[in-house]
Structure 1
C-alpha cells in the first residue's frame, strides 16, 4: 500500500502550500538554525575572535546559505504539488549542519586564528585570516557536494554506513551533546528547565497544551527562569554581562572575493592542510542528505536525490561566496514536520527569517538576549537524535563498528581539557613528568584527524565483520598513507599535515621528540600496514564467518 496521500478532490495545489502545522514546524526549524548560529558565534568568540567581526563578516553569508537552500526546497515542493496535483506535499527542511559547526570552528577556524596570532598578526588580521580559511573550506565543501550530486548513489555505496554514520555519531555524542552541557549547566536552573522541555517534547514526544511547539516552549520557559533570577539578583543579565549591540539594525552582506583571491595566492598550502577535515564533514552531509531524501520518500514525498544534494551543495557555495563559514544540509526531520501537518510555508518562513536576521543584523540582538543556557538544549537533542539514527540506520552486526568509530573522538575531548590545563599552568611541555608527557603525546596522536580516523576504523571493522577481506585491507593501507602524512595521528599539537621527516624536526624543536619516540608517523604507518598484512593472512588461511554467524543475533557474553 502506498504511503502517499491522495490529492484532495478539486483542490488547487497552490492553495495547499501552507497549513496550521507550518507554524509549529517553523518554530522548530527556525530555532534549530538560530541555535546553530548562536553556537557558531559563541565558539568563535570563545577562541578570542572579535564578536563584531564574527557577527558582521561570518554570520551574514552563513544565513544566506539557509535563505537560498530553503527557498529552493520550497520551490521544489511547489513544483511537486503542481506536477502531482497533491495539496499535502511537505518541503524538505534545510539548515546549518551542527556537526560541521563544531568541526569547522574547533578544528579549522579556531586553530587557524590561534596560529595566525602566534605568527604575530593582530586580532583583526588574524580574524580575517581565519575567516578566509573558513570560507575556503566552505567553498571546497560546496563544490565537493555538487560533484557528489551526480554520483550520490555511488557515494552511498562506496563507504559502509557504519563507517560514515559512526564518525557522525562520534561528533554527535562526544561533541554536540557533551560540549553544550558546559553552557547549559553554567546556569543550571534555567538550562535544565529548558532541557527538560526539549527532551520531553522532542525526544519523548509529549505534546504541550494548545500544540505549543516544544522548542519555543523550552526557550520561553528557560528565558523566564533566567531573567527572573536576574531580576531577583541571583544571576547575570542579557549577554551574560557583555555589551549590547551598538545599533538597532545594520545591513551587512560581505563580498570578499577580491581580497580572498589575493590572499589565497600565498595561503593555499595552509588551506590544503585543512581539506582532510572539511571533506569528511561534507561527505557526511551528502550521505545524510541521501538518507533524508529516502526518509521523505517513505513519508510520501519522493524528491529526486541528485537534486536534493545539488541544492545543498549550491547553497553551501553561495554561503561561501558571501563570507559564510558553515555548510547547509537537509535535516532529518521531514517525516516529523509532515506529521505536524506542515507543507512548505515553514521552509519559506525559515528562509526569510534566518536570512534577514543575518543580513539586517537583528541576529545581533538575538545573540545578546537569548542566553546560551536555554538555547543549547536543542543541541543535546540533535546530538542524541543523530546518535540514535546512526545506530538505527545501521545493521545490528555493524553496531561494534559504529561504537569503535566513536572512540577517537574521546581523544579529542581529552585534548580540549589538556590544552586548557597546560595553558593555565603556563608550564612548558619539557618540564612535565615523563609519564605525563607520554600520556599527552598519546592522546595528541589519537585526537589528530579524529574524524578521518573514525571513518577509517568504522569502515575497516564493518568490512571485517562482513568477511570482505580485500576492502578491509585497502582501508588499512589508506589509513597507513593518511598516518604517514599526518592526516591522522599527527604527533604535532597543531595536527598539521607534512612529511614525516619535517614532523620529526618540529617535534625536536618543540621538545616533544622523546615523548613521541615510539609513535612517529613512521610507527603509525607501519602499524596500519602490519594490520593490513595480518588481515590479508587471516583471509588467506583463516575461516570466515558463516552466513548464520553474520546474522543479527547478539553474541552471548
Structure 2
C-alpha cells in the first residue's frame, strides 16, 4: 500500500465508532424483532447465532474489505491521501420490510421458525440478484439524473430516519447522551483537539459509557431514585446473561436449503411483490450514495460499487442471513470526520468477531447505544447540508421539494408505530369509516400514499423541478411520465392496509382478503397531466432553452446538457 495512503489513520477510529454503532443497531434490531415476531428466541435462538449473525458477518466483512480496497485504488489512481471509503452494512428498510412482510407472515401461517428463516433467505437472495443486475444500467440513470434529485432524497432520509430518530434517543437519556453530543460537536464543528490527540468519537463513547455505569452504581444506593435518574441507568444483569450466548459460530453454507425452497415456486411466488420493490429501492438508494460520495470529492465507479452491493447480499443469503446489505448513507460525514479506508476494514473485522462469537449481546449490555448516537447524528447533519451545498444554488427549491416524501414517510412510520402500540382502533378502521380521516391535521391516507415508494417519489419530484428550473421542459415531461409509470405499476403511492400493516399493491397482484385498498390511479393520471403541461409549455416558453446553473466554485454539481441526451430539449 502507498505510504501516502496508509491502511489506517487515527481519524479512522471516529469513523469506526460511527459505522459500528450503525451496524450494531441493525444487529440488535434483528435480535429483538426476529426473537419477538419470528419465534427465534429460547431454543430457536440458534437460528440467529448459528446462521443469521454469521451470514451477516460474511456479507459485512466482504463488503467492508472491498470498499476499503476500492478507496486504496482510487487514492493510488489520483495520487491523493484523503479518499474515504464508502460506508457499508445491513440495509435497515429491507430488514424491517422482510421481517414484517416475509418472515413474520410465514411464521404466523406455518408456526415453523425454519420455514420463516428459509423464506427470508429467498428474499435476501432475490434482492441480491436484482441489485447485481441493476449495477449494469445504474450509471446511465446517474448520468441523466440531476444531482439535486439524488442528494435531496438522502437529505430527506437523513432528516427523519437519522437525525430526528437519534436526536430523540439523545433527549430520552440525556445524562448519558448529551455530554457525548457536546464532545462530538466540539470536535467536529470547532475542530477542537483533545489531549493526546485522541479522536473525538472515541472520547465521546468512552465518556458516555463511564457516565452510564456511574449512574447505574449510584441509583441502587438511593432510597427513591428520581425518574430522571432511573431512565439513564443500565441493567447489570444483562451483562451476566449475555455470557450464555458466547461461543464459536462459524458461517455455514446453506445453498442446499435455498435450492430446496426455490424448487417449490408456489411457496415463494407470492412474496415477489415484496422482493422486487425492495431490490429496486436498494439500487436507487445505493446510486444516490455513490453520487453523494462524488459530490464530496471521491468519484467511485458506479457499476463495481453497486455490483458489490448485490454480491454482498447474495453472500449473506448463501451463508444464512435473511437481510440484504447496502452502501450506507453518509459518506460526506465520514469524510468530514477525517476517516479514510481503515474505518471500513476495522468495522468489518469487529462486526465479524461479534457475530461469530456471540459477543453482540455482551457489547450492547456494556456500551449504551446513546453514548455513540451523536456520531451518527453528525453524519445526518452533513448529509442534509451537502444536499444544498453540492448542488447549483438555483436548484435549492428542487432539493427542498425532494425532501417532502421522505419526511412524510418518517411521519407515516411514526404514526403506524403509534397505532400498533395503542392496540385499539386501527388505521384501517379509521380509513374505512372516512377516507379523509386525519391525525392532528395530517391526512392518514396521504401520509401512507407518500410513504409508498418514497425513494422514487423524492428523486422524481426533485429531478422534475430541477429540469423546470433549467427550462428543460421535455426532460421534465419525461420525469413526469416515469412517475406515472411507477404509480400505475404500484411501485409508488398505491397500498393495501390490514389493521395497521401497510403493504404494496402492485399491478396485477391480488390484495389480501379483507384489506383496505388504495389504488393510486388518480395520482398516476395527475402525473400524466403534469407531463402534458410540460410538453405544452415548450410551445410558449419565452426564455432560453437552458439557464446556466448559478453556483460557486465549491459546487461541482452538473446538470446534463449533452446534445445527445434524451433529457435535453430539442
Shorter chain as normaliser: what TM range?
0.7 to 0.9
Offset from partner CA, 1:59-100 (integer Å, 9 cap, x none):
33333334224434555677788899x8x7566524325xx7
Does 2:251 match 1:259? no
Structure 2 spans left out of the alignment, 5+ residues = 220-228, 553-570
The answer to whether the 8 A contact 2:130-2:310 is kept is no
1:137–1:303 CA distance, 2 compared to 1 (3 A): closer
Distance 2:163 2:85 in 1: 22
- The whole-number CA distance in structure 2 between the counterparts of 1:74 and 1:43 is 26
Q: 1:427 aligns with which of 422, 425, 443?
A: 425
Which residues of 2 match residues 65-80 of structure 1 at below 5 A?
A: 65-73=59-67, 75=69
Please give the TM-score of this superposition, normalised by the length of structure 1: 0.80
**Alpha-carbon shift at residue 131 of structure 1 (Å):** 5.1
Worse-matched range after superposition: 306-315 or 187-196: 306-315
Structure 1 stretch displaced more, 134-143 or 486-495? 134-143
SS in 2 for 1:217: helix
- After the TM superposition, which residues 451-530 of structure 1 pair with which residues of structure 2 at under 5 Å, given as runs? 451-493=455-497, 494-499=502-507, 502=510, 509-510=514-515, 512=516, 520-530=519-529
In the alignment, what sits opposite 1:95? 87
| Distance in 1 (alpha carbons) for counterparts of 2:237 and 2:118 | 26
Which string of whole-angstrom CA distances, capped at 9 and with x for unpartnered residues, describes residues 276-322 of structure 1? 3332333332353355367556xxxx876765565555445434433
RMSD: 3.7
| 1:227-248 Cα shifts (integer Å, max 9, x gaps) | 1111112444248958424233
Judging changes above 3 Å, is the alpha-carbon distance between structure 1 residues 40 and 336 closer, same or farther for their aligned structure 2 residues? closer
| 1:43 alignment counterpart | 29
Who is 1:8 aligned against? none
Q: How far did 1:454 drift? A: 1.0
Secondary structure, aligned partner of 2:87: strand
The yes-or-no answer on 1:398 pairing with 2:399 is: no
| Superimposed CA distance per residue, residues 388-432 of structure 1 (whole angstroms, 9 cap, x where no aligned partner) | 222222111111111111111222222223323333242253367
1:293–1:305: 8 Å Cα contact kept in structure 2?
A: no
Task: Tell me by how many angstroms 1:347 deviates.
Answer: 5.0
Aligned equivalents of 1:94 and 1:267: distance in 2? 33
**Deviations for 1:118-158, whole angstroms, at most 9, x for unmatched residues?**
5454566445534542453244324433x25xx73x34312
Q: Select 2:57's aligned residue among 52, 60, 63.
A: 63
Partner residue, 1:440: 444
CA distance in structure 2 between the partners assigned to 1:305 and 1:118 by the alignment: 40
CA distance in 2, matches of 1:364, 1:211: 31
The alignment partner of 2:172 has SS state of: coil
- Structure 2 CA distance for aligned equivalents of residues 238 and 349 of structure 1: 28
Give the whole-Å Cα distance in 2 for the aligned partners of 1:231 and 1:356: 29
| 2:29 is the counterpart of 1:32 | no
The answer to whether the aligner puts 1:112 opposite 2:106 as a matched pair is: no
* Whole-Å separation in 2 of the counterparts to 1:373 and 1:322: 31
Q: Secondary structure at the match of 2:248?
A: coil
Post-superposition Cα deviations, 1:15-59, rounded to whole Å, max 9, x if no partner, equal 66648xx35233223223321222212333554344744454333
Structure 2 CA distance for aligned equivalents of residues 164 and 34 of structure 1? 25
Equivalent runs, 1:59-208 vs 2, <5 Å: 59-73=53-67, 75=69, 89=81, 92-97=84-89, 101-117=91-107, 119=109, 121-122=111-112, 125-126=115-116, 128-130=118-120, 132-145=122-135, 147-148=136-137, 152=139, 154-208=140-194
Q: In the alignment, is the contact (CA less than 8 A) between 1:201 and 1:214 conserved in 2?
A: yes
Structure-2 change in CA distance of 1:332 and 1:117 (3 Å): closer
Q: Distance in 2 between matches of 1:170 and 1:339?
A: 21
Query: Quick one: structure 1 residues 273 and 548, their matched pair in 2 at CA, closer, same or farther if it must change by over 3 Å?
Result: closer
C-alpha change, 1:395 and 1:54, in structure 2 (3 Å) is: farther
Gaps of 5+ in 1: 1-12
Report if the CA contact (8 A) 1:113-1:129 is conserved. Answer: yes
Q: Would you say the 8 A contact 1:142–1:313 is kept in 2?
A: yes
Shift of residue 374 of structure 1? 1.6
Pick aligned residue for 1:327 from 325, 328, 331: 325
Change (3 A) 1:229 1:348: same
Give the structure-2-normalised TM-score: 0.78
SS at the partner of 1:499? coil
